[in-house]
Amino acid sequence: MIFLAVAALHDLRHHRLPNLYLLAGLCVALALQFWQAGGAGLAAAGGGFLLGLLAFLPFYIRGGMAAGDVKLMAVVGAFIGGWMVLWAALCSLLAGSLLALGYLLWRGQLASVLGRYWASAGLRRYIPATDDSAARHRFPYALAIAVGTVCSLYLPSPLMPLLSRFAI
């Protein structure tokens, strides 16, 4: 949680996540996993890292998320391991959606952004946001990842009964 809090604060202030910080977090996650469960812990960290990376990689490829956010989710996966990272990713996406809606409400632009998306859907083509639109602002997604991950640790996952049958 400390790692996520520092990442979120840094992202809020600088709109980026340093690779050195993410690498340090990965090293700490690997050390903790090894200390707790030996080789099985390292396997869980590796599986969690890979699933965390794959969970957000499509958003990066489509231009909707920065590489640092994808790497942060991968490091979170190394900390929490295995399939739990998918629940954390889903909670992070929900937290990000709620934070974005709150930001648009605060800026008084929710109706205009929804109207633009409604028009895009009707025309079946993308309508870009205007330069003064809040939709053009960079979103510090580490905050959403932090909130979503913490929530995922305390909320029961509906995915676990299904996914626990697999050995990742």
Cβ atoms of 116 and 129 closer than 8 Å: yes
- Select from 59, 64, 62, 56 the least CA-distant residue to 85: 56
Evaluated on CA atoms 19, 142, 100, 54, the torsion sign reads positive
pLDDT of 107 above 90: no
What is the predicted pLDDT for the residue at 24?
Answer: 97
How sure is the predictor about 139, in pLDDT bands with cuts at 50, 70 and 90? confident
Rounded percentage of the chain residues whose pLDDT exceeds 90: 62
**Confidence tier at 86 by pLDDT (50, 70, 90):** very high
Q: How far apart are CA 83 and CA 127, in angstroms?
A: 37
Say yes or no to pLDDT of 115 above 90: no
- Give the pLDDT of residue 77: 97
Please, are residues 67 and 88 in contact by the beta-carbon 8 Å criterion? no
Q: How many Å apart are CA 152 and CA 56, to the nearest integer? A: 16
pLDDT in the model for residue 157 = 77
**What integer pLDDT is reported at residue 168 of this predicted model?**
52
Q: Which residues contact 52 (CB under 8 A, 6 or more apart)?
A: 73, 74, 75, 76, 77, 78, 85, 88, 89
Give the residue extent of every domain in the chain.
2-163
Question: If you average pLDDT over residues 24-52, what whole number do you get?
Answer: 95
CA end-to-end distance (rounded Å), the chain: 23
Give the residue from 106, 111, 100, 90 showing the smallest Cα distance to 140: 100
Give residue 74's pLDDT.
Answer: 98
| Residues 39, 22: Cα–Cα separation, whole Å | 22
What distance in Å separates the CA atoms of residue 35 and residue 130, rounded to the nearest whole number? Answer: 51
pTM score, two decimals?
0.84
Residue 160 has pLDDT above 70, yes or no: no
Residue 162 pLDDT > 90: no
Distances (CA, A) of 8 to 12, 15, 39: 6, 9, 30
For the segment 49-64, what is each residue's pLDDT rounded down to a tens digit?
999 999 999 999 988 8
